[in-house]
A = this chain, B = another copy of it.
Amino acid sequence: MGITIQEASRRSGLSAHTLRYYERIGLIHEVERDPSGHRAYTEADLAWLDFLTRLRSTGMPIADMCRYAELRRRGPETTAERRRILEAHRERVRTRIARLTEDLGILDYKIDFYATTEAR
């Protein structure tokens, strides 16, 4: 028996609404149904959802994720392109981390300044 949408929601951290939305826009294939028409997720679905949430949390736009998902559905002959997409994305994430780290330094500086100002 499959995993209910509530359980999938709990384990993925995505709301049931969002899970249906992701399916509607093709981020995830059409999920299996139980006899009464309710969605029945598999462990593989959850693994894919987990990967999707990582792409999202690293700032990949939904449209790009859709493109990636579409390539994945097309099968193994698209692995090179998928790899290129991930490589480009990785580069953006690295840039992002670098920028955040720099800004963190500014925050440290500012906080120190306040601390010493207060101490005076």
Q: A-side interface residues toward B, CB under 8 Å?
A: 51, 54, 57-58, 76, 79-80, 82-83, 86-87, 89-90, 93-94, 96-97, 99-101, 103-104, 106-108, 110-111, 114-115, 117-118
Contact = CB atoms under 8 A, between A and B. Distances in A.
A71 to B, nearest CB: 11
Given A96-B100, A100-B93, A86 B107 contact: yes
B90 A54 contact: no
Where chain A touches its partner, the secondary structure class is helix
B99 A57 contact: yes
Given A57-B103, A93-B104, A97-B97, A117 B86 contact: no
Contacts of A101: 97
